[in-house]
Amino acid sequence: MLKKLPAVFAGLLVALTAFAVGESELRSDHPDTYTVKRGDTLWDISARFLKKPWLWPEIWQANPQVENPHLIYPGDVLNLSYLGGGGGVKLGTNGPRVRREPLDEAIKPIPLKDLEQFLKNMRVVDADTFKALPHVVGTEENKLRAVNGNLIYVRNLDARAGDAFVVVRPTNLYYSIEGKRGEPPTTHVRPLDPLRGENKMLWRNNPVKDLFGRNARVLGYEVQVIGSVQVTRSGNPASLLVTYSDFEIRASDLIMPVEDKPYDSQYLPHAPDAVPTSFNVLAATDAVKVVGPRQVVALSRGASDGVENGEVYSIYHPGDTVTDHYKYPESSARKFFNPNDSKVTLPEEFVGHVMIFRTFDRVSYGLIMDGLKPVTLDDTLRGPE
């Protein structure tokens, strides 16, 4: 859009809406001016001025001369000002100048490079879809692995010569188990290795009983895209040519359609209209148990629960349960006869914010935006207020 304009003036780029943010929403330590640096995001910049950085879409707007309010660049100076009786942030200037920076140099709302793997290569599908996927049964010349230029053979693929697909490999099974005596369900993750038969789970989306008699429900199967293929001959098995691969393709890998629009390219951070119940952290990047800002987490609710891209949530760590040794000393009769009363659950503690950037049916991915403490598995999501 900007390339079609003969000139764009930096001083006319960003202004405040009529409902400009009040003093109560500004940080007490906000700067009077801030020079935008390479690597900044709109979230980072807003967090320097606002107590609630996810509110930046509500308080920034374009001047009539510029259609896109989000285009600021490294070197631009932001000044704190007061418009219409409210505090706000606008772009400073020493006079008009022609905007010559390329569009891809503009500051992004969030760091998309941190999400690339999860935007392009990760998917979560329901149990019925997963179990119906065609699978690789062999490779050209009976090799153990196939790479670019090799043929693979796939069973149960309904396709014609020339059709394109992607090869995926199962990574995790996400599921929940009902709680005891009316307690909320607990969520779990199980790493999958199809060569060991670990993708042959019997659970469906409908509840079944686990070994302990509790109801279990599949939230989704996570798969990783590892390559691209094209059908050279239909049949069962069908022949497919590997046109690209990040990893060597092997028997038991699965085949899925190419996604036309797999993810959003722009995000508008905002508070959710409602917070799903039992919404917590399922898994973290690289299977570690503790993560921090700019890392990705899998979450236990998805599109079917009303979760949408751009929603911001607060993350809370559940309080630990401790023993009150002061009133219930060890080996005392009081503790022996009152074991439950001796236990105290501490309050949950705020640890950071997460923004949803990709949703599936019952699972979503979120990016940790900031944090006071590390985020751990089973941490709970609440409204951002």
Cα-flanking dihedrals φ and ψ of residue 234, to 5°? -80, 170
Residue 139, Cβ density class (10 Å: 0-12 exposed, 13-18 middle, ≥19 buried)? buried
Phi, psi (deg, nearest 5) at residue 259: -85, 130
Q: 216-259: per-residue pLDDT in tens? A: 888 999 999 999 999 999 999 999 999 999 999 999 999 999 98
pLDDT at 194 over 80: no
List, in order of start, the domains of the chain with CATH numbers: 2-109 (no CATH), 119-257 (no CATH), 281-382 (2.40.10)
Q: Is the pLDDT of residue 382 over 60?
A: yes
pLDDT at 17 over 70: no
d(CA 253, CA 154): 9
- Give the model confidence (pLDDT) of 20-59 as tens digits: 445 547 788 888 788 888 888 888 888 888 888 888 765 5
pLDDT at 7 over 50: no
**Mean predicted lDDT score pLDDT of the chain:** 79
The closest of 52, 67, 51, 34 to 312, measured between CA atoms, is: 52
DSSP string spanning 133-163?
--EEEEEGGG-S-B-TT-EEEEES----TT-
Three-state secondary-structure class, residue 119: helix
pTM of the model: 0.79
Nearest Cα residue to 13 out of 73, 66, 59: 66
Place 8 in a pLDDT band, splitting at 50, 70 and 90: very low
328 or 158, which is more confident?
A: 158
pLDDT at 148: 93
Average pLDDT over residues 80-84: 50
**Which range among 62-66, 130-134, 174-178 has the greatest average pLDDT?**
130-134
What DSSP assignment string belongs to 306-347? T--TTBEEEEEEPPPEEE-TTTS-TT-HHHHH-TTTTEEEPP
- Window from 41-55, 74-88, 136-150, 197-211 with minimum mean pLDDT: 197-211
Q: Looking at residue 80, what is its pLDDT?
A: 63
202: pLDDT strictly greater than 60: no
Residue of higher predicted confidence among 238 and 79: 238
Q: Are 99 and 10 in contact (CB under 8 A)?
A: yes
pLDDT the model gives residue 35: 87
Cβ contact 352:320 at 8 Å:
no
Q: pLDDT-derived band of residue 136, with 50, 70 and 90 as boundaries?
A: very high
| Tokens at 282, concatenated | 């399922």
Q: For residues 125-134, give the mean pLDDT.
A: 94
Percent with pLDDT over 70 in the chain: 76
Peptide bond into 237 cis (omega under 30): yes
| 264-301 per-position pLDDT tens digit | 767 778 899 999 999 999 998 766 778 888 899 999 99
